[in-house]
Structure 1
C-alpha cells in the first residue's frame, strides 16, 4: 500500500486527506478562522502546538498582532486537519476546492475570512432568484450587485477596490454590461433588508408618515390595498408585529423609483396568503425593472421567479454560485443536492417527498376533546367548533395571521381560559 495514499471526498465542504504530505495539485486550499470563536487567551494554542510543519520550523499558524486571533498561511498549510480537530472552540476550517475556482474568486473579506466565487447576473424584465442556505454569500451578492460593495477579486489588502479592475476582470462575460452600469451609476437601486425586526430601532413615528416620505411614484394608495397596509397605517412603527414590519419594508422598497429592486427574504413572518400577495406585487414590478429575490420558501420562489441561481458552500467560510437554471429545474437540483455539471454533492442526502394514500379514520384513543369554544378580547372574538385530538395524530392549524391560531393552541394547552366552552 502506497505511503502517500489519498482519499478524497468530493463535496462542497471539504477534501479529506489521509497520510498525505501535500495538498492535491487539483485543489485550492481555503483556510478560514472564525474570529468570533477564536479565543487565544482561553486556550493553549493547540492549533500552533500540534501543527506538523510548525513543529519542524515552518511558520503556518501564528497569532496576528492586529486582530489578536489565529492566522493561517494557505501556502504552507498541508491540510492535515489537525488544527481543525484540536481547536477547543471549533474556530478553524481547512477546505479544498477545485482548482478551476481559483479564477472565479469575486470577493474576500480578509485573511482566512469568507470568500465568494462567481456572481449572479440580473436580467431586465425578469425576477431572478438566489437559493441556498444561510451564511454562504447571498447578502454579499446583493451588496455587490447594488453597487454598495465593489468586489475586490480576492485582493482584500487593498483599501478600496477599483471598478476599472472589476470591469476588466468581467470583460467578455454576461455580467460585464450590468456591472458597467452599476460602476457608472447609471442604475438606481432599492433594497428590502433581510432583518426587518431592526426597522423599529432605526425609524420612529407613524407608518403612513414613513411611507409618504419614500413614495416617489404616487403609489401609496395602490400598495396599501394590495399589501393590506390599511389596518396599521396610522400606528407607530414600534408597535408593529413581524409580519407588519415585513409588509412595511416591502412597501417602502417598492415606493422608491429605482431601476433594480432587491428583496432579501420577503416572505419571512408572513402567512401563506400574504406570501402569495407579496409575490404577485413583486412579480408585477419586474415588467420593466431588474428584480433580484433571495428566498428560502420553494413554493413562493416557484411562483415568483423565472430564473434561479443556486448557491452552495459552507456557512461563514465560502459560497459558490452555480450556473442559472429555470426555476423548476433549480428547485429539483436543490432538493437532489447534486450538481451534475460540477460533479459536486452539496447535501449528504437527497430531500424526498413520499406520496402516500390518505389514512383511514384515526382510531386511537382521544387525548382531549373540546366543546364549541369562544374567546373574546376587545375588538376580537374567536369561535372554535367542537373536536378532538387523538394519540399519534399530527394536526395542522392553518389560517391567516392574527385570526386566533395561537389563542386556539393556548386554550388546548390550558394556558388560556375560554370565554365559553371547555376543554
Structure 2
C-alpha cells in the first residue's frame, strides 16, 4: 500500500441553487503517484467531484459539504482556491479560459511572478517546465498562434511550474485531433513517470485514455461511486455499458462475437489483450453478419467548386477545394487542428467569402448570398457552445430564432418542446443555462439550430462532452433528420462518430482536400492517417491480430451491426 494523498470520506456536496445533492457518500482514496481515470455519464457528478478536489466548489461554485476531504493527510475545509492551487493543478477542458500571459513564457511564469520569485530563478524554472511539456522552442510565441495541442501543453506548464502534488485534467481530449490526443496522453504518462505526480483524469473517451497505462478507473453515476477497479477488472464487467459509457470498440466487437472477457486476458489495451481463445468466435460472428456496401446518391445538394480563401493575401488557408454532397447525405469533414475545416464551414455559411471558386446549393449558386439569405437553409452549430448562447433560460435560447422569424407563440412552444425532448433537455427547459454542464450546453445549441428546420445542418464537434447514451440520442436524432432529407455535415475529431454514422468522409490537410472516400477506407489508410493526424481504429487492429484477410470488411460489418443494436435503445 502506498501513502494516501487524496481521501474523500463520506463526502457529499449540494449546490445552493439545487434541492438535492449532486454527490452522495463518496468514499475514495487515491495514493501518491497513482494515475486515476474518472468516468461517468453527463450529469453523473464527476465534474463536481473534480471541482471539490481543486477547491472551485464551494469557493466559486457555492454549496454545502458533508463529510471530509483530506489532501496529504490534512483537511482542506478552510482552504481557499489559491491555497488549493498550490496542491492541485488543473488543466481545463478549454485551455483558452485559463491563459493569462500573451506569450508562452509569460503564461508559464505567471504563478512565479505572483510568488515574487527572483528573475534568475524564474527563468530557470520556466525553461525547465517548458522542456518538460515540449514547448521549449516556443517561449516567445503568442499563445493565440498555437495549435490546440500546443495550447494544452502551455496550460499544463502553467500549473506544473508550481510543482503541485496533484495534476487534474478535465477532458483533455475534447478539442484535440486524434493524433494530437495520442500525443497528449503520452505526454501526461511521461510526466507522471518522470515526476511521480498523482494524476487524475476526467474524460468520456475511455479507449483513447487507455492508450497508456492507468492504475484505476472510478465509475461515477447519479452522484455515487459505482465501481472502483483496475482497467482489466472493469472491462471484464458490464459496468461501462450499464452506465452509458462507451466501451472500447475492440471489447464491444469481442462481446458481440460471444467471447468471454476476463481480467486474465488483459483487455485494457488492444496490444495487450490475449486473443487465442477468441479467434474462432470472431470468424463465426463475422460470417453471420450481413454486409451492405450500397450507398445512396440522389439529387444535388451542396457543392464547392475550386474554392480558395485567404485571411491574408500571402497565406492561403483553403486551396482549390472541390467536393459535392448530395441532398440527404451525412458526411464527416476530418483533419488535424488548423487544417481549415472550420474555415470551410464559415465559407459555406457565408461568414467569409471565398477569394476564388463557387458554392452551390440545390444547383443554384449562393457564393454571393448574404448570411441571412443562407441562414434560412443552412444552420451551423459551433464547437464552443458559449459562443452561441445569448439567453438566460434554456427554453428562451431554443425559441430565440423562431421569435426573430415572427413565428406564433403556439407554434414556438410546440416546436421548442418537441426539439427539447429529442435532445434530452425537456426536464431542464426552465433551468438557467449557467447551471448546465459543458455537454448540456452543447445540446442546447444543437436544439436552437434544429428547431429552425434547416435543409443543411453543419455541426462542429457535435458530440464533444457527451456521454455515450446522449451521444447516441443526438446522433440518432440527426439520422432521423437525415432520413427526412436534411443534409448533415459534421466536422469532427471523433473517429468513432465518423465510422458509425457517416459512410463517407472528406479529409482536409493544410487547406487542401487529400481524400474523399468511405470512412472505413480512410481509417485504414496509413498515408492519409499520417497526413491528417487521424487515428487507426482498434477494430482494424483487432481484425489484423485475429488474422482476417480483409480487415476493412470486418470493420464495416461491425459498424453496421453495432448501429442496429444501438437503435434498439431509442
Q: Does 1:311 align with 2:220?
A: yes
Q: Does 1:320 align with 2:224?
A: yes
Deviations 1:49-91 (A, max 9, x none): xxxxxxxxxxxxxxxxxxxxxxxxxxxxxxxxxxxxxxxxxxx
Who is 1:99 aligned against? Answer: none
Q: Which runs of 5+ in 1 are unaligned?
A: 1-103, 151-155, 168-177, 314-318, 339-345
Who is 2:163 aligned against? Answer: 257
Q: Tell me, what secondary structure is at the counterpart of 1:402?
A: coil
Please show how residues 110-189 of structure 1 align to structure 2 within 5 Å. 112-114=19-21, 115-142=23-50, 145=53, 180=73, 188-189=87-88
Deviations 1:334-373 (A, max 9, x none): 54225xxxxxxx79xxx98999846335432332433332
Q: Tell me, what secondary structure is at the counterpart of 2:226?
A: strand
Q: Tell me, what secondary structure is at the counterpart of 1:133?
A: coil
Q: Tell me, what secondary structure is at the counterpart of 1:141?
A: helix
Who is 1:373 aligned against? Answer: 307
Equivalents in 1 of 2:181, 2:136: separation in Å? Answer: 12
Q: Does 1:387 align with 2:323?
A: yes
Query: 1:311: Cα distance to partner?
Result: 0.4
Please show how residues 267-416 of structure 1 align to structure 2 within 5 Å. 267-287=173-193, 288-304=196-212, 305-313=214-222, 319-327=223-231, 330=234, 333=238, 335-337=240-242, 357=291, 359-378=293-312, 379-416=315-352
Distance 1:113 1:198, change over 3 A: farther
Q: Which runs of 5+ in 2 are unaligned?
A: 1-8, 59-63, 77-82, 112-121, 257-288, 360-570
Q: Tell me, what secondary structure is at the counterpart of 2:12?
A: strand
Deviates more, 1:386-395 or 1:139-148: 139-148
* Alpha carbons 1:196, 1:245 under 8 Å: kept: yes
Query: 1:256: Cα distance to partner?
Result: 3.4
Alignment length (residue pairs): 280
* Alpha carbons 2:11, 2:65 under 8 Å: kept: no
Deviates more, 1:123-132 or 1:277-286: 123-132
Distance 1:336 1:403, change over 3 A: same
Q: Tell me, what secondary structure is at the counterpart of 2:176?
A: coil
Point out the structure with max Rg over C-alpha: 1
Equivalents in 2 of 1:242, 1:414: separation in Å? Answer: 25
* Alpha carbons 2:89, 2:164 under 8 Å: kept: yes
Please show how residues 49-64 of structure 1 align to structure 2 within 5 Å. none
Who is 1:234 aligned against? Answer: 141
Distance 1:391 1:140, change over 3 A: closer
Distance 1:179 1:280, change over 3 A: same
Equivalents in 2 of 1:193, 1:414: separation in Å? Answer: 32
Who is 2:435 aligned against? Answer: none
Deviations 1:78-116 (A, max 9, x none): xxxxxxxxxxxxxxxxxxxxxxxxxx8422448954243
TM-score (norm 1): 0.53
Q: Tell me, what secondary structure is at the counterpart of 1:371?
A: strand
Equivalents in 2 of 1:356, 1:121: separation in Å? Answer: 48
Higher helix share: 2
TM-score (norm 2): 0.41
Query: 1:404: Cα distance to partner?
Result: 0.9
Equivalents in 1 of 2:127, 2:65: separation in Å? Answer: 45
Distance 1:205 1:109, change over 3 A: same
* Alpha carbons 2:177, 2:336 under 8 Å: kept: yes
Query: 1:147: Cα distance to partner?
Result: 7.8
